[in-house]
């Protein structure tokens, strides 16, 4: 009898890494709850090393985001499904954490706001919508667009990157599978943490999603640090929009200035709620207007104004 071709191997070669089967979890449906935890934990342990391996590309994204903001541009995340939701999560955390305007880091997700809580069938397949949605945000050549697509082939993301590329904006892609040539032609560079096949085949909310979250954390946090949004590792530009953040602002001012919480609260009131301004006012004994002027001159970096580092960690 004639030998049959190895169709499984041929099929696997055509699949992105995120769609291939994981031999280590092929029997997971027979596992106990504890065995499932152990199998998933073993797979998740591969993620940090995969992210660290693409550190140079992540650093390039940090540098480009910082330069984009200094030139008056914005950072856009574009994705569909789980990838899009991760972009929305990261973008939405920037204003309360770093005191930025919501427009500075924006997330565009296929299907719009309804896609945040319910899958919008077919939205990711409409490539033209990616460009249209960026147009609606007034995308220009000053902006930086990062596509997020675990498989690297999502049409919506490809359409957005193509539109941004034509406009002359900087572009990059975060993906868990090597991008095809047609995608690489649209981006300045790619960030590709190779986490391997998923525990459940194709479920990229798992390892690929975890890797993506780590990468996005690093991009915005790193770029915000470069913007002077921290003093040491203290988030001195946070917005006290709730009781927890207000208490954190008080603790930061009290620790840096060596004063009581009550005095810190008074200092924050005098600084219109800005921990950064309150620190400069208190440490230098100057008015709010003068503190704000000095911060502007120092591009928001306390270390350029206040001598010495923040207090050491106790």
**Can you tell me the distance from the alpha carbon of 21 to that of 191, in angstroms, rounded to the nearest whole number?**
23
128 classed as catalytic: no
CA distances (Å), origin 94, targets 77, 183, 214 = 13, 28, 15
* Structural domains of the chain, with CATH: 48-226 (3.40.50.10490), 243-304 (1.10.8.1080)
Residue reference for tokens 């992210």? 51
Residue 14 pLDDT: 52
Per the CB < 8 A criterion, the answer to whether 174 and 82 are in contact is no
124 classed as catalytic: yes
Residue 297 pLDDT: 95
Residue 15 pLDDT: 63
**Can you tell me the distance from the alpha carbon of 307 to that of 283, in angstroms, rounded to the nearest whole number?**
9
b/e 2-27 (16+ beta carbons within 10 angstroms → b): eeeeeeeeeeeeeebbbbbebeebee
Which is the catalytic residue, given 43, 63, 121, 124?
Answer: 124
**Can you list the residues of the chain whose pLDDT is less than 50?**
1-13
């Amino acid at each position: 009898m004639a030998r049959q071709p190895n169709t499984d191997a041929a099929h696997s070669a055509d699949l992105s890494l995120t769609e291939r089967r994981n031999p280590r979890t092929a029997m997971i449906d027979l596992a106990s709850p504890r065995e499932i935890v152990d199998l998933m934990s073993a797979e998740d342990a591969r993620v940090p090393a995969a992210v660290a391996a693409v550190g140079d590309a992540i650093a390039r994204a940090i540098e480009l985001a910082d330069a984009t903001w200094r030139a008056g541009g914005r950072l856009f995340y574009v994705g569909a499904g789980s990838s899009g939701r991760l972009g929305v999560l990261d973008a939405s955390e920037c204003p309360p954490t770093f005191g930025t305007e919501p427009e500075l880091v924006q997330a565009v997700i296929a299907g719009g706001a309804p896609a945040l809580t319910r899958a919008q069938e077919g939205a990711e397949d409409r490539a033209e919508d990616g460009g249209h949605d960026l147009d609606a945000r007034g995308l220009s050549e000053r902006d930086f667009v990062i596509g997020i697509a675990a498989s690297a082939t999502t049409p919506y993301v490809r359409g957005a990157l193509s539109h941004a590329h034509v406009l002359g904006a900087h572009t990059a892609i975060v993906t868990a599978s090597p991008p095809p040539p047609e995608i690489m032609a649209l981006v300045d560079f790619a960030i590709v943490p190779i986490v391997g096949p998923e525990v459940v085949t194709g479920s990229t909310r798992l390892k690929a999603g975890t890797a993506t979250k780590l990468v996005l954390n690093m991009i915005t946090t790193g770029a915000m640090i470069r913007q002077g949004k921290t003093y040491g590792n203290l988030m001195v530009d946070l917005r006290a929009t709730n009781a927890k953040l207000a208490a954190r602002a008080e603790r930061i001012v009290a620790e840096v200035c060596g004063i009581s919480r009550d005095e810190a609260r008074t200092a924050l009131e005098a600084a219109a709620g800005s921990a950064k301004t309150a620190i400069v006012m208190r440490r230098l004994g100057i008015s709010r207007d003068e503190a704000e002027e000095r911060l502007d001159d120092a591009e928001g970096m306390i270390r350029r104004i206040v001598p010495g580092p923040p207090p050491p960690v106790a």
